[in-house]
Structure 1
Amino acid sequence: MKKSLVPPPGPARTLALAQLISRTGDGAYYVTAALFFTQVAGLSAAQLGLGLTIAWSVALVLGVPLGHLTDRRGARGTAAFFFLCAAVAVGSYLVIRSFPLFVAAASLYAIGQRSGSAAQQALLAGVVPKKNITQVRAFLQACYNAGLSVGAALGGMVLLFDIREAYLAAFALNACAFVVAALVLLRVPATAPTPAAAPGEKAPSVLRDRPYVVVSLLNLILVLHVPLIDVALPLWIVGHTEAPKWVLSVMFVLNTLAVVVFQVRVSRGVTGMASAARYVVRGGLLLGAGCVVFAFSGSGGSAWSAILLLAAAAVQTLGEMVQMAGTWEISFGLAPDGRHGQYQAFFGSGLTIAEIVGPLALTGLLVYWGAPGWILLGALFAAAGCAMVPAVRWGERRLAAAQPAPDGAPKTTPAGQPALD
């Protein structure tokens, strides 16, 4: 592996290793889950969909409170604990065969997976210098995609055999991966917990940080590219284009490998909040441009449609990498020290919401409305990206106003102007 693809030694490399291990198990899980639950566990497709919706909704509601718990108890221990919860949940799938128990286990898995990821980000903020966070986060994203790719390959072998024992082995692998990842996380230096609020004083809450809420909502719009690729795009290709179905597989491989190889390089241009905001603008414009190309892929023959689909996928993948590099810097940079647990949990909830409501919304917009729906979605991506600049400036002013000024001097913004409340 090239040196540029390997994170620097120390906590960054340990965090990347934990990410690689846990996502390898998840990759095998994602590929085999639907068939396991319907063919082995005996659930109907409707029960599976309803149960997963309930589970991720529970994880969404509990995300911020558990993020606050992460701040109070320390990120390292809680990250390992949540990963162990995910391991217990996946392990229980091996014996669960009823819908109520499936919902309980799926909820525990969703909580463990989402809250564990948020705690892992809080741990990253505590052990990596602030100037290096975006670069290290890029390494973690590359490991995320690499792990999913390896796991998906293993899951493909399970589907090839298509026997009960193979499915059980895939789920056992996922459970073991979470256990090993939790043990790896315990090798990262511990971070100091945040002290409790003084008696009579309100505990700080991300929900009262209006600029951060706005930034998170804009990010929610931008991360709609995730269910776009997973759900809406396959239906668009089959129902609206003449392109062969194998093009979808090529697009997935293109997206995954590009992130593994180029995410770190793309992220090097982010050196502060101003450059991060510019990156998000560019990312939103690229995502929008990709949507415009997708809109035209429904016209013409199979070869022309395939060319346009691959070109649009390339533009969208670049937009995804640029947008993520910018939002990582923003999500950490606007979070007060000692509160990264709840702030990262809230910021990450945008992806959970996108995965819950995105498939239905995007299917209606793109599959049933067609090319105009793609144009509207592209305009939404571009608008959200451009709106990030004033939102970030607002967040910087609020964060500067909350910082104690030395020697009684008036509070100032990073640009040296008087702070605005």
Structure 2
Amino acid sequence: MRTPVRTTATALLVAVFVDALGSGLYMSVSVVFFTRYLGLGAGQVGVGLSVAGAASFALLVPTGVLADRVGPRRTLVAAHLARAALLVCYPFVPGFGSFLVVVALLAVADRAASPLVQGLFAVAVGEAERVRAMGRARSLQNLGLALGGLGAGAALVRDADAVYVAVVLANALSFVLAAVLVARLRTTEGERARGGGPLPLRRRLGVFRDRRFAALTALNSAVSLHVTVLTAGVPLWVLAHDALPRPVIAWTLVLNTAVVVLFQVRATRSTRTAEEGGRALRLSGLLLAVCCAGLALTGALPTPAAVAVLLVAVAFQAFAEMHQQAGSWAISYDLAPDDRRQVYLAFFSLGNAARNTYGPLVVTFLVVRQGAPGWLLLGALVLGAGAWAARIGREPAVPAGAAAPALPLPDVSRRKP
């Protein structure tokens, strides 16, 4: 007979998959829906997405504060239902101003969901299993996004307004189903799942004074540039070299998805503490540096060899992604105090939000402007960030239940080897 803990974890995994399936269906047609159905210009869509990104960044930590107070389960249910309601509003948006409001609110709910899911896994499974559970969730998320993307491809073939509206509403339905699954969860620590007791706001926001956690957040953000390498760097590199066939861009995405689905759980082995998480980031930085070096070589190789090296490089990128994810989960779990877990997880997620802003600028400048040397510079950057994260991860930390929220970063320059 299945234990309540395993049943709860399974239900949460199903909710993650349903969320990803709807999101994958919607993401591939969203821009077409905005321009073809809503009649917005490309510039208006760009402005709307930028405003949405800024709003989600600004409200991520306040959402974490709220989740610590009322509980991650209730907050995630509210986020899913808000996403569904806002998507239902999309087909009736009368103009650009209304579009800005809807897209910004939707981005806030979307961005909040990830740390809320992570917080729920912390109380749905034991401490020893939470990173592994996040690995399973990551695999299912990639599978759901891929299957949703395939469905979106069929929708794009029809190229009809009714089909685009149906896709948007199908995504809304997926969020309703995810909300129902999350609402029915029963965790091992009910009180913390419902929310914590009252804490002074200064203590809840103590994460801003936690220098060690802030440093690891920033370094993890740098190592996570593997996302931008895959989604922006590789396509730009392929388009700039006639020897590389254009379809290889799609092959790299398929390869990345397949590797993550198959091996993400395995990559979480022996990664539970902040120290082990730091080592995982160091390994991720090394793997991504190898990827960058391989990509730098492809510009000078004949087509068959260039394609082969590029695909091998992307395989290294996928393994870098998996170890970075495992390291980030271990660090954020281990260093987050129990009574302020959600605000800590939300703060850690700021690094990913920031990467989505600076990542395309950094990668585009290095790849487009600098060429092969740019790839080597990028590899050196992530290699250094990973090594620094491993060093900070070894430093002693304040216990999760301790009252003092901040720990000054030690002067490691005077420490003997």
- Aligned match of 2:216: 215
1:366-403 superposed Cα distances (whole Å, 9 cap, x missing partner): 11221111111101111111111222233x42347936
Gapped regions of structure 1 (runs ≥ 5): 1-7, 405-421
User: What is the identity, as a one-letter code, of the residue corresponding to 2:9?
Assistant: A
Matched residue SS, 1:310: helix
CA distances 1:80-124 after superposition (whole Å, capped 9, x unpaired): 101111112222112214111111111111111111222221121
Q: Does 1:47 align with 2:44?
A: yes
Report the 3-state secondary structure (helix = DSSP H, G, I; strand = E; otherwise coil) of the residue aligned with 1:338: helix
Q: Per-residue displacement from partner, 1:218-270 (whole Å, max 9, x unpaired)?
A: 11111121122112321110113511111111111110011111111221232
Residue 304 of structure 1 deviates from its aligned partner by 1.8
The equivalent of 1:224 in structure 2 is 225
- Confirm or deny that 1:256 pairs with 2:253: no
Q: Which SS does the other structure have where 2:216 is aligned? A: helix
Q: Deviations over 1:271-305 (max 9, x none)?
A: 43333322221111001110111111111222122
1:188 aligns with 2:185: yes
Instruction: Note if 1:11 corresponds to 2:8.
Output: yes
* Runs of 5+ unmatched residues, structure 2: 405-417
Say whether 1:96 aligns with 2:93: yes
Alignment deviations for residues 34-85 of structure 1 (CA, whole Å, 9 cap, x no partner):
1111122111111111110110110100100110100001111001101111
**Pairing of 1:194-209 with structure 2 (within 5 A):** 194-197=196-199, 202-209=203-210
Residues in 2 aligned to 1:89 and 1:400: alpha-carbon distance in whole angstroms: 37
Q: CA deviation at 1:9?
A: 3.0
TM-score by length of 1: 0.90
Percent identity, please.
Answer: 34
Q: Note the C-alpha offset of 1:356.
A: 2.3
Give 1:234's aligned residue: 235
Q: What is the letter of the counterpart of residue 33 of structure 2?
A: F
1:135 pairs with 2:162: no
Structure 2: how far apart are the matches of 1:204 and 1:367? 40
C-alpha contact 1:254 1:314 (8 A) present in aligned 2: yes
Please name the residue that 1:290 is paired with: 291
Is the 2:136–2:265 contact (alpha carbons within 8 Å) kept by the matching residues of 1? Answer: yes
Task: Supply the AA of the counterpart residue of 1:80.
Answer: V
| Structure 2 CA distance for aligned equivalents of residues 384 and 241 of structure 1 | 33
Indicate which of 62, 77, 95 corresponds to 1:65: 62
Q: How big is the alpha-carbon RMSD for the aligned residues of Structure 1 and Structure 2?
A: 1.8
> 1:31: how far off?
0.7
- So what's the TM-score if we normalise by structure 2? 0.91
* Alpha-carbon distance in 1 for matches of 2:109, 2:39: 24
Correspondence for 2:398: 398
Conserved in 1, the CA contact under 8 Å of 2:227 and 2:321? no
Residue in 2 that maps onto 1:246? 247
The answer for the alignment partner of 2:330 in structure 1 is 329
Name 1:25's counterpart in structure 2: 22
Residue 205 of structure 1: how far off its partner (Å): 2.5
Q: What is the CA–CA distance in structure 1 between the aligned matches of 2:19 and 2:116, rounded to whole Å? A: 14
Q: Which residue number in structure 2 is paired with residue 299 of structure 1?
A: 300
Q: Which of 139, 143, 146 is 2:143 aligned to? A: 146
Q: Aligned to 1:168, which of 155, 165, 169?
A: 165
CA–CA distance in structure 1, aligned partners of residues 249 and 143 of structure 2: 19
Sort the Cα spacing of 1:129 and 1:400 in 2 relative to 1 into closer, same or farther, 3 A: closer
CA distance in 2, matches of 1:97, 1:391: 51
CA contact (8 A) 2:335 2:400 kept: no
Given that 1:53 and 1:356 are in contact with CA atoms closer than 8 Å, whether structure 2 keeps it comes out as no
Is the Cα contact below 8 Å between 2:291 and 2:313 reproduced in 1? yes
Bigger mean CA offset, 259-268 vs 148-157: 259-268
Alpha-carbon contact 1:80-1:183 (below 8 Å) kept:
yes
- What amino acid is the match of 1:88? A
In structure 2, the partner of 1:349 is: 350
How far 1:176 sits from its partner (Å)? Answer: 0.7
Per the TM alignment, residue 204 of structure 1 is displaced from its structure 2 partner at its CA by: 4.2
Q: Any conservation in 2 of the 1:87–1:175 contact (CA below 8 Å)?
A: yes
The 1:212/1:85 distance shift into structure 2, 3 A limit, reads: same
C-alpha distance 97-365 of structure 1, shift in aligned 2 (>3 A)? farther
In structure 2, the partner of 1:366 is 367
Q: Is the 8 A contact 2:25 2:151 kept in 1?
A: yes
